[in-house]
Structure 1
């Protein structure tokens, strides 16, 4: 059986609305827009965690954070027992590769046979491929220049565009596609490190945005530090209008948009390469992001939670001539759906470890998602988001803390109704659903299968056939 290639294109910290196909008033992404027009786009897709490493592990394993056990960046090694999508596809004859930012610390069984990496956490002592490339060109000192870390990591010293992260990632991708084994299908993950900071735009970048001409998001009231789940990202708390003024925020956004357009340009070159090799129609392409960014919402930038700006991500599927194209899909989906959907498209069994859902019924029809809720989490907080409400609940060691928003009346999450008696029945129902989800999806290596009856979703890690 000739199975299709899989091309997973991931950007880092990319706000779901900062693409042309969503009607953004400023940022231009013609090649990403092309994928959306030719395929299926899910405008209500949510990631499992709002920072890089746990979200990427959830993408590649189809497991929620409390199941795979990874919550932070670079803290502890990722468990080798986790089954990744590339590792699984190797058993079906796929050659696997990753180009760009890996950010999977200590995961020896990630499953990528070939890699060319660029991120400082991907190799010790700056031994990764991109740094060595810059060193050969006498530019390596610019890699370590983060600029003004209190001001969007912007610097006056920029790497020439031909040596930029974006151009390097694109060239390395074309090299792999040129020299790959043409007799075997490939699973290739192109992982662009940006628009994650630093936001310094490469020198000579052909995509420049005028800060003064940008349209700022309408929800500009700064409230993020008031959240009970405020994410203190050190200097990133200063990446806002109240610290740097509107001019500073506009400068940061203009740089953010330039990097997105530069990435889009490289995606276009990859699509051209697939066309020239005659394999575009034999390649399933997924465009996504590991998580979002405030991107001007609440007059700030950077990460945080549990806001939609951080957890909603772009999620586009393209397979020329195969998928049902024609506008956005309505309804909720999750990034953990990637693994089981790829398996279904390839007609291979879905491992019992996968906790996402197969999206094939939505890819080949006019159906919208009927899913009632999505879930995401971090240490100390679990969130359920339905089409109408969002509830986040945590415990600080002494008392429960929570946020509850009526998204129909308050789509920008300004009015916390958690303690409102009028909405108490909704709160209690959502709390019960979080608990049900947590019990159903947790996977502690506990008793043998015969000694534990419920819930049926447990796969009993460490016992025979756990990954069957």
Structure 2
């Protein structure tokens, strides 16, 4: 048996921090997420650095900001950098990845073959990007012919995860499981979970505005979409329970670090918006639960400003794996469990005006988040928003450039500038950024595919597109 701890890292897609019982939401049913929090630590103010799928997923796996791992927008591939799986594989771990990947460029239904493009993961039951939760032919193993499966996607993925745990029980193992929900389409949830919220009233957050500003917001029913979002989370909660039970049945609960988080949140009608790619809390705050018996005290809470760049160094320290942290932008959160306050500020960003930000005509932005304030600028260092989080926790009163906040704003401008310098971020329009990074050809190919001009297929690269497809949001 290895002296290293095992890792089960589970993340949802587009799940907000607020929508669990352990987060104080009494209207949603999440007994197993609550069980996980009760047995470990709940980071109550966890953030993602870039609230959109591909950039955030790259950060979760590398500990780097998107501008340093290269996947600066949806459907751009992860650059040439080490992942957590690369590090763990070198230490003898059996590594596995199940679910949505979204780090291999275009087309979205492409086959990612065994080898370097799987970024250190050996076992593979994944697809690049899809949110068709009852589709039967989406998984790729080691053949370009997709596997035929049936049932609700998170249930199938959890079955595969349980099988991986059984087959690798002698360890050490590191399994990353990426569930697609509660990312829209919101109604695509088994009916038994939708029924849980059929008649129950759901209290809207104070900043909810309907009708919304986006075309999607005008098409969807407000009450039903939130109820279905809750239903999807309850469905995931059931699957989390199955995973925790499996670890206990196999005698692995004491030796396995369990992590649960999300790649970003969902505005879900707050400020009249849906989805993500903006700096408000609904898009950037995510759940972050960790359990490691004997190391993490049960029922712990930390209000530290944890963020996605911190996940890799934190995981490696908990597992007892030494590494050179110089290639990462984050730092371990383990001191926070001993009372350390954690980071004083977090850098947030959207590097490319595309997808949701293009739909809402929001230019590229950067932001700094402290315990007390959220400050954001749009490209060109133009002040955009400043919220006093103590006085305005739902971020409804923008006080940017107001005289009473001049000194505070000046300090936040300085902090943001320092963070941008450390991240080597030139803060230029996205179309200029991709050219500077040598990603121009990939970006233009991505735009052609998104426009429907190019087709997809099961090929191994962006140029393998064969037949037209309609791309969805990431």
TM-score class, shorter-chain normalisation, is 0.7 to 0.9
CA contact (8 A) 2:257 2:319 kept: no
| CA distance 1:393–1:220, shift in 2 (3 Å) | closer
In structure 2, distance between residues paired with 1:119 and 1:211: 33
Deviations 1:130-150 (A, max 9, x none): 99788566xxxxxxxxxxxxx
Segments of structure 2 that go 5 or more residues without pairing to the other structure are: 106-115, 132-136, 352-363, 427-474
| CA distance 1:326–1:198, shift in 2 (3 Å) | same
Structure 1 segments (4+ residues) deviating >6 Å = 130-134, 223-226
One of 130, 139, 143 as aligned partner of 1:128 = 139
Q: CA deviation at 1:401?
A: 4.0
1:149 aligned partner: none
CA contact (8 A) 1:219 1:298 kept: no
In structure 1, distance between residues paired with 2:404 and 2:208: 26
In structure 1, distance between residues paired with 2:184 and 2:145: 21
2:438 aligned partner: none
One of 323, 331, 352 as aligned partner of 1:349 = 323
CA contact (8 A) 2:10 2:261 kept: yes
Query: Which stretch has the larger CA shift, 193-202 or 267-276?
Result: 193-202
TM-score by length of 2: 0.77
Q: CA deviation at 1:381?
A: 1.2
TM-score by length of 1: 0.78
2:25 aligned partner: 24
Q: CA deviation at 1:377?
A: 0.4
One of 289, 304, 315 as aligned partner of 1:316 = 289
In structure 1, distance between residues paired with 2:66 and 2:212: 24
Q: How does 1:377-456 map to 2 (within 5 A)?
A: 377-379=349-351, 380-395=364-379, 400-442=382-424
| CA distance 1:339–1:135, shift in 2 (3 Å) | closer
| CA distance 1:202–1:65, shift in 2 (3 Å) | closer
Q: CA deviation at 1:201?
A: 3.5
CA contact (8 A) 2:101 2:178 kept: yes
2:266 aligned partner: 293
Q: How does 1:30-429 map to 2 (within 5 A)?
A: 30-74=31-75, 76-79=76-79, 81-106=80-105, 108=117, 110-118=119-127, 120=129, 128-129=139-140, 135=148, 163-180=151-168, 182-206=169-193, 208-222=195-209, 237-240=214-217, 243=218, 248-298=221-271, 300-347=273-320, 348-363=322-337, 365=338, 367-379=339-351, 380-395=364-379, 400-429=382-411
CA contact (8 A) 1:212 1:250 kept: no
In structure 2, distance between residues paired with 1:127 and 1:188: 20
CA contact (8 A) 2:210 2:269 kept: no
| CA distance 1:299–1:59, shift in 2 (3 Å) | same
Deviations 1:294-324 (A, max 9, x none): 2343355322411011101101110123212
Secondary structure at 1:284's aligned position in 2?
A: strand
CA RMSD of aligned residues (A): 2.7
Deviations 1:180-233 (A, max 9, x none): 3x443011011101101122244443562335522222324539988xxxxxxx
Residue-pair matches, total: 396
| CA distance 1:127–1:218, shift in 2 (3 Å) | closer
| CA distance 1:300–1:53, shift in 2 (3 Å) | same
CA contact (8 A) 1:98 1:190 kept: yes
Q: CA deviation at 1:426?
A: 1.4
1:146 aligned partner: none
Secondary structure at 1:371's aligned position in 2?
A: coil
CA contact (8 A) 1:64 1:376 kept: no
Q: CA deviation at 1:25?
A: 2.5
